[in-house]
Structure 1
Amino acid sequence: MYKWIVIGGGIHGSTVASHLLHHGAVTHEEMAIIDPYDGPIENWKRLTNKIGMKHLRSPSVHHLHPDPYHLKKFARTQQYSAGFKGRYQRPLLHMFNHHCEQWFNEVNLQRSWKKGEVESLNKKDGAWHVHLNTGECFQSKNIVLAIGVTNKPHWPGWIMELKTSDPSGIYHIFEEPTLLAKGKTAIIGGGMTAAHTAIQLAKQGDEVITLIKRHPFRLHDFDSDPGWLGPKYLAGYENIDCNKERRSQIQKARYKGSLTRDLHVEVKALIRRGKLNVITDEVSCVNRRERSLLLQMKGGSEVKVSSIVLATGVDKGIPGEEWLSKTIRKHELYCAPCGFPVVDDTLKWDEGLYVTGALAELRVGPASRNIAGARKASERIMQSVSLERIVERR
């Protein structure tokens, strides 16, 4: 039986698992990291590479190593002369990934890796039983749910009929392993992912790319105010006992569908060069006309393209819902009205069951899904580990 199983090997799962190893809370033989991919943060690398991201949105102190200044030190020792950009010192993506790889190698994270997808999670005789699609079953004293959200892409209602009947030329950025769109392409979305994708396609080909968004560009340096990472806003948030109010605060705090000013500058430059066309309107329907796709806008105009790429975010609901909902019902796990876990300060949901990422946001706050949230969650879980060690010594 394992001491710890971490379900999910993305940014959040890899942060928690590497910190558990680094602090000596577990050995490689006592821990398993279960993920559908071959190695740590592989889905992160695939997605960021696909959209052509060059720099992270987060600042230099947000990374996976426990030392907040370690990435700065790494940049100096590895001689990254242009490793950070702008006022907030946004890390170069390549350098960030290189830093992650070195950190994972230092703690030998791959040694605890188990490739597979979870199909069920149940508790029996004091241990958690994890069943995989490979037919394997593992038992553990502790579980960390570090499930990502990108496996639940949001498909707008206006495209569902065509997606079902004739999906050729229609893609969601979170689904395809590579960016398959060719020719005249419409990108649907107004946030960072949509902007990155539009820039990438506009620079790659000769055709004019069309970016369709429902609202004017919302310019914000981060996807929530940095005050949510410290006592400025969290002090009041932590005093809120009502989970409905906490959810409301999270929704208000997030700058949904926003992008940074430097990315906006790139978009405007491509518009001036005639490489990118930006439309602020909403799609009402789409039809196939011969070899083209015809988008009918609510404002009355039509857009004719050969491909559509959706950068419309993810569906609402808890990550891993297809199997986690059964665990919730069977073990009567406490959830808020929004369906998300209600956990304690150490992110414990039930005895031996911890959460991070989106599942921890009612406790951690609006930044829970981000890299900063991964660090905060790891710190909270390590608090629980420290308390257990004190009890064991007694």
Structure 2
Amino acid sequence: MYKWIVIGGGIQGSCVASRLLEEKKVERKDLLIIDLHKQPLERWMTITEKIEMEYLRSPLVHHLDTDPYSLKKYASIHNYALGFKGQYQRPRLDMFNQHSLDLLEETGVMECWLQGEVDKLSWAEQGWTVRIADGRCFTSERVVLAIGVNHTPYYPSWMEKYKESPSIQHVFEMDNELPETGDVIVIGGGMTAAHLAYALTQKESIHSVTMVKRHPLRIHHFDSDPGWLGPKFLNTYHKLTSYKERREVIQKARNRGSITRDLYFKLLKQERLGKLDIHTGCIQEIRKDMDGEMQLFMENEEMIAGSSILLATGPAIALPGKAWLDPLIDKMQLPCAPCGFPVVTKTLEWKKGLFVAGALAELEIGPVSRNIAGARKAAERILQHA
């Protein structure tokens, strides 16, 4: 039997696991990390590389290590040129990734890794049992649910008919390769879509790039106000006893579909140079013509055509791990808010020995729960109980 099993090896799960090891809360032989991929942060690195992100949106103190200034020291030791950018010292993506992998190697996370897809979680008197798709089961005293939301991409209803078409891809689909030629349409108005559209305009083999979004480009430094990192906003938030109200506050606080100012100016420059067309409005319908070209029909009766469509519409709005968590919730009567997400203690414990991180912890952590700062907060909370 293990002492801890962490389900999910992305930013959230890797942060929790490395902290458990680093602070000697568990020995390597007593920790198991189960993830769908071969190595930690694989989904994160694949998607960010695909859209050619150069710098993170978060500041230099947001990373997986305990010391807030660890990444700054790392940049100096390894002589990274232009390691940070802008007023908030946003780190280079490649540096952040290597810093993370070095930390995970050093703390021993790699030695605790198991590639597998969890399909069942159950409780018995001896502890928690985690089953993976090949039938193997593992028991543990404690389990951390650190399941990412990006495993299930959001597909708008208007494109259901062509969902399986090779001309339409979602950037969150791991196996998809971006088109190298033709007229490409990018759907979305947030950071992922903006990075993707800009990257495509840099490829000489791409004939044209069109970005289609529902709303004007929104500019925010971060995906939520920095006040959500501390007592400025959280004191009031934690006084809310209604989880419906907490959900409303989270939705309002998140700067969804927003981009940084520097990325905004990059898009405008490409538009001025004639390398990018930017359209704002709602898509009503999609069709494929006789030549296989995809046609988008907008609410203003405008038609936009392209040889391929790339969706950067984010994750589906659903409980992560819903397929195998729902039976557990029903059987054990786990407390959930009206939105279906867990109601947990301050140490993020959902049931005895069952903890949550990331999106599953957001009703306690608040609007930053899904990002790197949220991962750090979740690790700190969980370790209080370890």
Q: TM-score, normalised by structure 1?
A: 0.96
1:200 aligns with 2:189: no
Which residue does 1:170 correspond to in 2?
Answer: 168
Q: Decide whether the 8 Å contact of 1:228 with 1:367 is kept in 2.
A: yes
* Residues paired across the two proteins, number: 383
Q: Partner of 1:207: helix, strand, or coil? A: strand
Matches within 5 A, 1:4-153: 4-153=4-153
Letter in 1 for 2:177: L
Q: Which runs of 5+ in 2 are unaligned?
A: none
Pairwise CA distance, 1:81: 2.7
Pairwise CA distance, 1:180: 2.7
Q: Decide whether the 8 Å contact of 2:200 with 2:206 is kept in 1.
A: no
Alpha-carbon displacement from aligned partner over 1:370-391 (angstroms, at most 9, x marks no partner)? 0000000000001111xxxxxx
Which residue does 1:160 correspond to in 2?
Answer: 160
Q: Decide whether the 8 Å contact of 1:188 with 1:212 is kept in 2.
A: yes
Q: Partner of 2:317: helix, strand, or coil? A: coil
Which residue does 1:392 correspond to in 2?
Answer: none
Pairwise CA distance, 1:330: 1.1
Q: Partner of 2:236: helix, strand, or coil? A: helix
Q: Decide whether the 8 Å contact of 2:46 with 2:174 is kept in 1.
A: no
Alpha-carbon displacement from aligned partner over 1:264-316 (angstroms, at most 9, x marks no partner)? 01101111111100001111111110220111111111111000011111111
Q: Decide whether the 8 Å contact of 1:218 with 1:259 is kept in 2.
A: yes
Equivalent-residue separation in structure 2 for 1:176 and 1:116 (angstroms): 16
Alpha-carbon displacement from aligned partner over 1:193-229 (angstroms, at most 9, x marks no partner)? 0001101111113411000001100100000000000
Q: Decide whether the 8 Å contact of 1:46 with 1:177 is kept in 2.
A: no
Q: Partner of 1:228: helix, strand, or coil? A: helix
Q: Partner of 1:184: helix, strand, or coil? A: strand
Letter in 1 for 2:45: K
Letter in 2 for 1:377: A
Alpha-carbon displacement from aligned partner over 1:314-333 (angstroms, at most 9, x marks no partner)? 11121011111111111110
Which residue does 2:263 correspond to in 1?
Answer: 263
Q: Does 36-45 or 198-207 show the bigger shift?
A: 198-207
Equivalent-residue separation in structure 1 for 2:100 and 2:174 (angstroms): 24
Letter in 1 for 2:241: D
Q: Partner of 1:368: helix, strand, or coil? A: coil
Q: Partner of 2:13: helix, strand, or coil? A: helix
Which residue does 2:184 correspond to in 1?
Answer: 185
Q: Partner of 2:99: helix, strand, or coil? A: helix
Letter in 2 for 1:174: F
Pairwise CA distance, 1:152: 1.2
Pairwise CA distance, 1:176: 4.0
Q: Which runs of 5+ in 1 are unaligned?
A: 386-394
Equivalent-residue separation in structure 2 for 1:102 and 1:375 (angstroms): 17
Runs of 4+ off more than 6 Å:
none
Q: Decide whether the 8 Å contact of 2:123 with 2:129 is kept in 1.
A: yes
Letter in 1 for 2:135: G
Pairwise CA distance, 1:178: 4.1
Q: Decide whether the 8 Å contact of 1:128 with 1:141 is kept in 2.
A: yes
Letter in 2 for 1:300: E
Matches within 5 A, 1:188-267: 188-204=187-203, 205-267=205-267
Letter in 2 for 1:38: K
Q: Decide whether the 8 Å contact of 2:358 with 2:371 is kept in 1.
A: yes
Alpha-carbon displacement from aligned partner over 1:91-149 (angstroms, at most 9, x marks no partner)? 00010011011101111211000110000000012310100012210000000000000
Q: Does 3-12 or 317-326 show the bigger shift?
A: 317-326
Alpha-carbon displacement from aligned partner over 1:15-52 (angstroms, at most 9, x marks no partner)? 00000000101011101000011111111100100010
Which residue does 1:352 correspond to in 2?
Answer: 353
Equivalent-residue separation in structure 2 for 1:52 and 1:249 (angstroms): 32
Q: Partner of 2:151: helix, strand, or coil? A: coil
- RMSD over aligned Cα, in angstroms? 0.9
Q: Partner of 2:182: helix, strand, or coil? A: coil
Equivalent-residue separation in structure 2 for 1:237 and 1:384 (angstroms): 23
Q: Decide whether the 8 Å contact of 1:214 with 1:280 is kept in 2.
A: yes
Equivalent-residue separation in structure 1 for 2:329 and 2:126 (angstroms): 17
Equivalent-residue separation in structure 1 for 2:174 and 2:183 (angstroms): 18
* Identity fraction in percent: 50
Q: Does 7-16 or 128-137 show the bigger shift?
A: 128-137
Q: Decide whether the 8 Å contact of 1:50 with 1:178 is kept in 2.
A: no
Which residue does 1:378 correspond to in 2?
Answer: 379
Equivalent-residue separation in structure 1 for 2:259 and 2:43 (angstroms): 22
Which residue does 2:274 correspond to in 1?
Answer: 274
Letter in 2 for 1:179: E
Q: Decide whether the 8 Å contact of 1:209 with 1:276 is kept in 2.
A: yes
Equivalent-residue separation in structure 1 for 2:152 and 2:176 (angstroms): 17
Q: Decide whether the 8 Å contact of 2:225 with 2:253 is kept in 1.
A: yes
Equivalent-residue separation in structure 2 for 1:171 and 1:39 (angstroms): 24
